[in-house]
Structure 1
Amino acid sequence: MDAGPATPTATSRERQAMLRALELAANGPARGVNPRVGCVILDADGTVVAEGWHRGAGTAHAEVDALSRLAPGAARGTTAVVTLEPCNHTGRTGPCAVALIEAGVERVVFAVDDPGHHSGGGAERLRTAGVTVVSGVLAHEAEAFLDDWLTVARLGRPLVTVKWASTLDGRIAASDGTSRWITGEAARIDVHRRRAAHDAILVGTGTVLADDPSLTARHADGTLLPEQPVPVVMGDRAIPSGAAVHRHPRGAILHHGHDPAALLAELRSLGVRSVFVEGGPTVATAFLRAGLVDTVLTYLAPVLLGGPRLAIGDLGVETIRDAIRLEPVGVEHLGDDLLIITTPTRHPVESVPAGHTVSHPENGPSHVHGHR
């Protein structure tokens, strides 16, 4: 029996080109609604003849950027290696799948499928035009690189990281309320590095009133890191006009209410792709109860305090079978402390609700009717 044509696989040079495409993608803007995408074009011998990346909304997509560096007709018979499936959508720019077809590209290798309802489907359009398509090349690396953007595209909300620092017995403060410092300097430096890697940092009004945090990302000497998350305060209580958060180099977002999903929807509409939740047990518990957490960072100090001041409040768990299970991702030694990185185990990704608006590759918002 004829087994049919073999599924095409990537060559070693194409895999190497994908690593280079990921490097190129990192040149693009890390914040905002658009993904960072890189493209490398190889000739028939596997030699790199052009490179490109996406520089932000309204600019040429990575594939078109790379093609623009070739003389007319020079792309015919080449291979395009791209970190994200070429888009099949006309927004501020035209569809990359069509640009590749019209340029005469013979083969397209990409890492991750585009989850957008309108922007996806580029691979099928390429195949229909006779272009050989290889997908899933270095998908794990590309998924990790695009983690925040893919979360927005698939779930319609920003990526959420919840962080707390506690003693071994789960306490975040002594009985008198003192908490500085449970963890050591190495752990605190790591926290500030991770703050800077997120678009926004979130606390509740209780944390602002009790601790008056600046919510900045800082070096060990107290100077500001180049990248700063947008400070977000959630709750109904008034914040004093002299609060440190008002002096943040980026304007504070004050969200009234206690609904994590509503807050994430507001932040997504503002182009926020990742949120660092660092504000006390009330806010952390609310996000965990709502099932809106992607990563949990637990900084553990070899200290015992006892008492009631726990890192997490009531999660609504009445029996052990209903416990929120976490999958260990990594453990890091930070001086005398430990950082335990976990992700909540979850059911398969739910569809984006009908009528929801999510961001699509390199084009800005687009209406979506469901997850592919």
Structure 2
Amino acid sequence: MTSPADPVALMQLALQHARHGEGYVEPNPMVGAVVATAEGTVISTGHHQRFGEPHAEINAIRAAGSATVGNDLYVTLEPCSHFGKTPPCADAVIKAGFRRVFVGCQDPAPHVAGQGIQRLRNAGLEVTVGVCETESRRLVAPFVMLMLQRRPWIHAKWAMTLDGRIASRTGHSEWISSDASRALVHQLRGRMDAIITGAGTVRSDDPLLTARPAGPRTPLRVVIDADGLSLHADTNLIKSLSQGSVLVCVADDAATDDVGRLKSLGVEVAACAASEPGRIDLRVVMAELGRRGCTNVLTEAGSGILGSLFDSSLIDEVHIFIAPRLIGGASAHGPIGGLGRESIPAIPNVKQIRHTSIGDDLLIEGDVCRE
């Protein structure tokens, strides 16, 4: 007697394949699919490979051919039921002749929201929803953030010593982490729609903020600079405009001459409301990036920008590189400035923790939980 399939294991396989689309499918969500027999033998796999191209279910169905008939489909996100850049996947699933469909999570998009699942059930398919639901929902979290909150999923990255310092008391920070850690940062940059830094970082570090080698995406480089005075013709961001666009966010009362000078350098300029004199409201910046369709944004900045993001509850995910080194000094810089939280019960937890050893460095990643 053969054993029945393990839905969790097969959905985990679908999730694994879904992640192959990271950096290629945005602003769409990453989705994976598996076609398997009732006993759990994998027939085919598929994932959404690029924005505008066939969805995961279609790729898995095509790979399986006629073997879909009477077998099972595992898909991390509810099949769509509407015409967009591609026809409805729910119709293709029905036509393929599956017996059962296992869905990781319901599509939160208002124009789907359970309609694909209902269409499958109306056609007589047995549908199970919620297999590996937590992982499936996390996979589409950036997509959901952009769709429902109209802002990108915000990643905060920093490198620090064991005693929690990102720079010495004199501001020196090059380099705290190892070459291998910095190579991982370049991979992370290549999956982002935008990279944000502040005027202080531009002045002190003169960064390029490019992915080297280039990744699947070419991020927009964003500078938060209230008065618009940090960039000049010999700044690396200006000298590398052929490698990616630059957007400078200035205060809406910035001097007209300074705005004109920036535009003459070849950058875009966005006038943003201030949260207080001399400080741009980062919620306005994120709304602007949301309007531009940015799904994932990486912040590589000093403690001032990170503190403002934290105080505004605008950090969704952290990537913290910890080097086995010590700086010391009461005035040495920590990663997050701003006001911070007043009490321990008020602080957010970091969940979905991942630990990665990179030589002697340690990378800790996780999602900021505000509930």
Q: Distance in 2 between matches of 1:117 and 1:70?
A: 31
Matches within 5 A, 1:74-85: 75-85=68-78
Cα distance change of structure 1 residues 139 and 310 upon mapping to structure 2, 3 Å threshold? same
TM-fit CA distance, 1:336: 4.3
Cα distance change of structure 1 residues 305 and 81 upon mapping to structure 2, 3 Å threshold? same
Give ranges in structure 1 of 5+ residues lacking alignment: 1-9, 219-223, 348-372
Q: Distance in 2 between matches of 1:40 and 1:306?
A: 54
Q: Distance in 2 between matches of 1:143 and 1:46?
A: 23
Whether 1:196 aligns to 2:190 is yes
Tell me the equivalent position of 1:112: 105
Whether 1:299 aligns to 2:312 is no
**TM-score with structure 1 setting the length:** 0.75
Q: Is the 8 A contact 1:97 1:126 kept in 2?
A: yes
Tell me the equivalent position of 1:175: 169
Tell me the equivalent position of 1:91: 84
Q: Is the 8 A contact 1:87 1:120 kept in 2?
A: no
User: May I ask how many residue pairs the two structures share in their alignment?
Assistant: 332
Tell me the equivalent position of 1:245: 237
Cα distance change of structure 1 residues 268 and 112 upon mapping to structure 2, 3 Å threshold? same
Q: 1:216 aligns with which of 210, 228, 232?
A: 210
Question: Which protein has greater RCO, CA pairs closer than 8 Å, 6+ apart?
Answer: 1
Tell me the equivalent position of 1:280: 302
Cα distance change of structure 1 residues 185 and 74 upon mapping to structure 2, 3 Å threshold? closer
TM-fit CA distance, 1:172: 2.7
Name whichever of 16-25 and 242-251 sits farther off: 16-25
TM-fit CA distance, 1:272: 2.1
Q: 2:222 aligns with which of 218, 227, 232?
A: 232
Q: Distance in 2 between matches of 1:299 and 1:45?
A: 43
Name whichever of 55-64 and 40-49 sits farther off: 40-49
Matches within 5 A, 1:341-352: 341-347=365-371
Amino acid at match of 1:244: N
Cα distance change of structure 1 residues 243 and 18 upon mapping to structure 2, 3 Å threshold? same
Give the SS at the match of 2:321.
strand
Amino acid at match of 1:273: T
Q: Whose helix fraction is larger, Structure 1's or Structure 2's?
A: 2
Q: Is the 8 A contact 2:23 2:192 kept in 1?
A: no
Tell me the equivalent position of 1:264: 286
Q: Is the 8 A contact 1:174 1:307 kept in 2?
A: no
Amino acid at match of 2:153: L
Root-mean-square deviation (CA, aligned residues, Å) is 3.2
Q: Distance in 2 between matches of 1:183 and 1:69?
A: 43
Cα distance change of structure 1 residues 76 and 184 upon mapping to structure 2, 3 Å threshold? closer
Q: Distance in 2 between matches of 1:319 and 1:70?
A: 56
Give ranges in structure 2 of 5+ residues lacking alignment: 251-271, 273-279
Whether 1:12 aligns to 2:5 is yes
Cα distance change of structure 1 residues 88 and 282 upon mapping to structure 2, 3 Å threshold? same
Q: Is the 8 A contact 2:307 2:340 kept in 1?
A: no
Q: Distance in 2 between matches of 1:295 and 1:255?
A: 23
Cα distance change of structure 1 residues 325 and 55 upon mapping to structure 2, 3 Å threshold? closer
Tell me the equivalent position of 1:135: 129
Give the SS at the match of 1:255.
strand
Q: Distance in 2 between matches of 1:342 and 1:57?
A: 26
Amino acid at match of 2:156: V
**TM-score with structure 2 setting the length:** 0.76
Residue deviations 1:107-158 (CA, integer Å, cap 9, x gap) = 2112222111112212133223322101222345444544433443454322
Q: Distance in 2 between matches of 1:145 and 1:279?
A: 26
Whether 1:290 aligns to 2:312 is yes
